[in-house]
Amino acid sequence: MRTRSLETEIIHAITKPDEKTRAVSPSIVPAVAYAFTDVESAIDTVMGKTNDVYYGRYGNPTIKLLEEKIAFLEQGEEALALSSGMAAISNALLCYLTSGDHVLVTKDIYGGTHHFLTVLAPRFGIEFDFVDCTDLEAVAASIKSNTKVLYIETPSNPSLTILDIKALSKLAHEQGLAVIVDNTFMTPLLQRPLDLGADLVVHSATKYINGHGDVIAGLVVGNKRDISFIRKNLMGDLGQNLNAWEAYMILRGIKTMAIRMKKHNENALAIAEFLNEHPFISKVNYPGLISHPQYELAQTQMEGMGGIVTFELKGDFDTAKRFLNQLELAMISFSLGDPETLVQHPASMTHASIPKSEREKFGISDGLIRLSAGLENADDIIEDLKNSLLIVSNELQKELSYSI
């Protein structure tokens, strides 16, 4: 029997028409409580001897369907749906880390992850170090006797650094470390870290997996033991469960993920190529450009280059602010992965909690812009960028001539 493509499985895998109603769309089950025919069956469920649900804080049929779908797409044994991407990230880290442990973290990461590590992790007695994960020797040299985890993003947010998941996983496992990969920018359609050796994959399902900017959710995928531990000892006790309505919305969004990601990829590449030739842009970060330092690795590890483009304007924060304020089609927003093109200034927005000296080490300059390519016509997005760049460059030239 021929194996179906992932594009087909995104629509058909796991989700089947209801046996009783024949409804194609899955049911939304908001129930908190579940009845049992006898005490013995209730005990068996609580003890994990059955695959049934018993209380809404630990899941329900709609959420379970989403978890099974994501586990299938990421090629993991099980998945866990949580209330946000940060819930997924923090739970994944706490799955392996306790007081006195140490975690190695790729040097350029999402600002929320950085904030968790620098503010909350020390309160748990957890140590951390940031390291250049493009340098395997540097990673190996940074491993301590109490290091338990290697945590990476690839592509990273916002520098779009590509990391070799297979090589890093091999190195980490040789030293007894677990590997966690934030796969938010890629989705399981474009990259599957578990196939490359990672132990846990995390997603902000708020972004491309849902794809419509109307749900906040997180996902963790891995083996049964780790996911069960997080569900029973972390997510449940911390009350970070997803609800049935949002699980249904994500299931609905997943059905169009393949066609959405194709358009995101196409638009992002067109935008990156335009910006790469513009005289007012000093640098463009996009793994689909040959100029990207990990271009060849991206071609082998990823099945698409994603919908995020970051670029540096020739100027400072004031220049970046002017540019963003002149845009008409693209919207200033902290999120990404929506149908609309979204732009933001990492240094003052998503990564503002990181000290300036550290931001600069991570490649986050005051002139850096992050753009999430939407589903609009690429020519219209580029025209908007072109007009804004023209206005700002003309203003700066006038100011320069006046000062002279």
Q: How far is CA 248 from CA 60, 169, 178, 254, in A?
A: 11, 33, 31, 10
What are the strands, taking DSSP E only, across 10-71? none
In angstroms, the CA 380 to CA 6 distance is 30
Active site (catalytic) residues: 57, 110, 182, 207
Give the residue carrying structure tokens 């938010």: 184
DSSP states of 296-360 as a string? HHHHHH-SS--SEEEEEESS-HHHHHHHHHH-SSSEE-S--SSSS-EEE-TTTTTTTTS-HHHHH
In a 10 Å sphere around its CB, with 0-12 CB exposed, 13-18 middle and 19+ buried, how is residue 325 labelled?
exposed
Bridge pairing between strands 147-153 and 127-131: unpaired
Residue 89 in 3-state DSSP? helix
In angstroms, the CA 17 to CA 28 distance is 13
Structure-token pair, residue 167: 């090589």
Backbone angles phi, psi at 205, to 5 degrees: -70, -10
Up-side HSE of residue 133: CA atoms within 13 Å toward CB?
31
In a 10 Å sphere around its CB, with 0-12 CB exposed, 13-18 middle and 19+ buried, how is residue 168 labelled?
buried
Bridge pairing between strands 342-344 and 368-372: antiparallel
Upstream peptide bond of 287 is cis (omega within 30 degrees of 0): no
In angstroms, the CA 333 to CA 342 distance is 6
Backbone angles phi, psi at 331, to 5 degrees: -105, 140
Backbone angles phi, psi at 295, to 5 degrees: -55, -50
> Who's near 366: CB < 8 A, 6+ residues apart?
316, 317, 320, 347
Upstream peptide bond of 158 is cis (omega within 30 degrees of 0): yes
